[in-house]
A and B are shown apart, each in its own frame.
Chain A
Amino acid sequence: MQIELQEIRDHLHRFPPFDALPLETLDGIAQRVEVSYFKAGSDILEAGAVIRDLHYVRSGAVEIYRRNGELYNRLVEGDIFGQAGLLRSNKVRFPAKALEDSLIYFIPAEVFAELCAQHDAFAEFVEAEGHSRLKSAVEAQGRASELIQLKCRVLVSRSLVWVTSDTSVHEAAKVMTEQSVSCVVVMDPEPRPAHRMVGIVTDRDLRTRVVAAGRSDSATTIGQIMSVDPVAIEADDSLFEAMLVMLRRNIHHLPVMYKGRTVGLINLSDIIRYESQSSLYLVNRISNQTSVEGLRALLRDLRGTYIRMVREGATAHMIGSAISGIGRAFTQRLLELAEKKLGPPPVPYCFMALGSMARDEQLLLTDQDNALVLDDAFDPTLHDDYFRSLATFVSDGLAACGYSYCKGGIMATNDQWRQPLRVWRGYFNDWIEKPNAATLLNSCIFFDLDGVYGQLELVQELKTLCARKSSANPGFLNAMARIALNRTPPLGFFRTFVVETDGRQKRIINLKGRGTAPLTDLIRIHALACASTAQNSFDRLDAISNTKLMQPEALKHLRYALEFLSMVRIRHQADALEQGMSPDNYIEPERFSTSERHNLKEAFQVLSNAQNFLRFRYPAKARQLP
């Protein structure tokens, strides 16, 4: 009697190392496989337990942990785990947990041993997987750079599903069901010259805006409940760009445009396949939490994501964007929870991030810097109780989640930083027109600004004001330059390191204070001089390069120095985390190799040269530029 478990055999056949095995061998494996279903969140392997099978992910997603509890890897369909334990001690080395509902195939140890003995390629595959961090690092580097290299167009696989805005919600829901899509693009009914995208509707919108709102009568059209003017992405933008947009806005669907036409939709899960660091997953989980405690519990995952990104060769720009995106998600969710508790806001508002989060350069060790920009209809006697409570809820929540209170008091809980737009306009005008020592310190923080939640236009207006007005006020830029020159790179006259001594008599360099921070300061000034509204330092360098302000060669060096110093700092913090210590910004140059020290000096020299240029370009006494 021939028993054929075709489903199992055909699935194995699609994934390495099984794809290289003959079909009859696969039939043999399929006939001895055991299967089990694991609900999301349940344990699959517990540390130290006896392991008797190779595990194969048939569907779902599995997280593998180190014994210290840090996340080590995330596996999906076709991946195997447990081989490290089988090859050595027959004890579980890395505990495993179902991240999603998962179906696992168990391949018995005897079968595993036979396969290793009879198929060299199989043996090599499973052995390499067990011990080589290098290999996984190299592979991962491939993955990380794939995100930058691949264009959004590669993900547009099916033809666009769309409806016109005069379609009834019933009809639209039917189309979505028939086409099995969770999102449709909404077009203007006017077909000439071509249908134009006017909105987007998701499953969730139908649930919250139609059914829950009691609007499921046949008169309701999709145009009445859609999200208007959705954020879209260009077909030739990279997947990384798409990921950034999703992270920043916490949206799951992005229309893809080509030559002004909507050609497709990409969604969160499309990107997640390429994004092994799972920052998007984390953002998704953050937005599902219903309490501060729930959010706080995700801190460990945040660290895991951070470490994985570093180990998988992501760039400083990618890591900064991802960690900032996660910070935004925490903030957004806290605001949603606050609104749930306090009721809807009495007037529109925008929650504003300042400093590193606004620049998309946040790392793990960070304070919260934030403020509230309120609509001009704000009346303090009527409305301020609400916004004070809102700010307190968010600020306390952020502190609970590891974003410590700002020592300088730059938080929306501070009355001064919880004001209507016209007051903010007054602040910025004053700071730029009449800079003094105190307001210049504010400018360094408030001139990296970005809306996180609410009426984003309020903050957009301030951004534009900053850029326009600063570029027209050389006196202000000169004053800002003085501040930026206060912190110098740690280089002596003969290119030796100038080190400080910490409490334990270690010879250290403050990488942030004497490296990345003065760099971002001077980049900010040049960007303001160009009237750029960009916030991220790399984006600002792009904006500067579009003008004749600096030599292309000098910009290239700045970019390199920023990337290098940021990565040294990021790696230093990841190492600390992995060793169970709290991350800081202090490195000991003596512990670096000669070539690393050389690179470090090179990068600090770039900063030094750039500061000299800044001194010349924005002199202490304002001079008339030709």
Chain B
Amino acid sequence: MKGAGTERMAGKSEWAARFEALAKEARHPALQKFYRAGVIAAQTPIEQVQLLAMDVETTGLDAQAHSIVSIGLIPFTLQRIRCGQALYWVVKPQSELNEKSVTFHHITHTDIRNAPALTEVVEALLDAMAGRVMVVHYRNIERGFLDRAFHRHLGEGLQFPVIDTMQLEARMHRQKRSWLDRLLRRPQLSIRLADSRARYNLPPYHAHHALTDALATAELLQAQIASHYLPSTPIAALWD
């Protein structure tokens, strides 16, 4: 499991080129600035990459129908997770908060009454993301919702490179099934955030607070790399 699967790197190395093109296409100045900051080279070892753990909490799972209620960001590297530079916003969602999602993330109507709209935090958000590689657990949520929200508010979408810790976990565990799974004829090993963390002896956290989940994801990536990859693994083998 150590080292990079080179076959996976094919076709993933063009993020730098894609950002150059996007910088030209983008109309909103904040987006132009973000794309112009560029992306590190695909061959950069993961130990040298500036990373940003990201989690968004939403009113539901469908990026078309639901919207973002909070965003948590924590910059980190393989060596250190920097809580001192963490960022967290509650934002006013487009769609209604429903009871079910409230019980998940505990953000209530009172919390969002005075919250800014997403448009107000876009610049700070893009500043934090600029030049970094995003790290999320289950990329479809963060990518899908941010892209959708940017379309809605700015009239153009958002693209960025992502390391998905859930995807890394799937590479590790979805091929080989454990004895207990076979014994119970269970379909698959859970690669949810909490279950994945437990496999690396990381402590349980209260889930569904965007900042806590971002911290949890950053720690998980450190553990995954320490367990399964060399620090010199090129970023291209990990991102998507």
Contact = CB atoms under 8 A, between A and B. Distances in A.
A500 B36 CA distance: 86
A171 to B, nearest CB: 10
Interface stretch (A152-160, A206-214, A467-475, A586-594): A206-214
B84 interface: yes
Counting chain A residues whose Cβ lies within 8 A of the other chain, the interface size class is 35 or more
Contacts of B209: 6
B179 A211 contact: yes
A38 B202 contact: no
Interface stretch (A99-107, A505-513, A563-571): A99-107
Nearest to A171: B184
Nearest to A108: B84
A103 B179 CA distance: 28
A272 to B, nearest CB: 15
B182 A211 contact: yes
Given A5-B86, A101-B201, A35 B212 contact: no
B83 A4 contact: no
A100 B203 CA distance: 13
Contact of A177 (B180, B200, B226): B180
Contacts of A3: 86-88, 211
Interface in A134-180: 169-170, 173-174, 177
A59 B203 contact: yes
Contact of B223 (A1, A4, A37): A37
A173 B183 CA distance: 8
Interface in B31-55: none
A103 B176 CA distance: 27
A33 interface: yes
B117 interface: no
A328 interface: no
A305 to B, nearest CB: 23
A124 interface: no
B80 A34 contact: yes
Given A34-B80, A37-B222, A5 B201 contact: no
B183 A211 contact: yes
A11 to B, nearest CB: 8
Interface string B82-106: 1110111100000000000000000
A170 B71 CA distance: 43
B215 A7 contact: yes
Contact of B179 (A60, A106, A207): A207
Nearest to A210: B183
B202 A37 contact: yes
B147 interface: no
Given A7-B215, A170-B183, A35 B83 contact: yes
Given A3-B88, A60-B201, A177 B83 contact: no
Contacts of B227: 39
Given A207-B179, A211-B182, A106 B80 contact: yes
B218 interface: yes
Interface in B200-229: 200-203, 205-206, 209, 211-212, 215, 218-219, 222-223, 226-227
Nearest to A58: B203
B189 interface: no
A31 interface: yes
A30 interface: yes
A314 to B, nearest CB: 29
Contacts of A6: 206, 209, 212
Contacts of B86: 3, 5, 31
A298 interface: no
B81 A4 contact: no
A368 to B, nearest CB: 37
A209 B223 CA distance: 32
Interface of B: 76, 79-84, 86-89, 179-180, 182-184, 200-203, 205-206, 209, 211-212, 215, 218-219, 222-223, 226-227
Given A1-B88, A8-B215, A101-B202, 18 more contacts: A1-B89, A3-B88, A5-B83, A5-B211, A7-B212, A31-B84, A34-B84, A35-B218, A35-B219, A36-B81, A37-B200, A37-B219, A100-B201, A169-B183, A173-B183, A177-B180, A207-B179, A212-B179
6 contacts: A1-B88, A30-B83, A32-B83, A34-B80, A37-B226, A101-B202
Interface of A: 1, 3-8, 30-39, 42, 58-60, 100-101, 103, 106, 169-170, 173-174, 177, 206-207, 210-212, 216
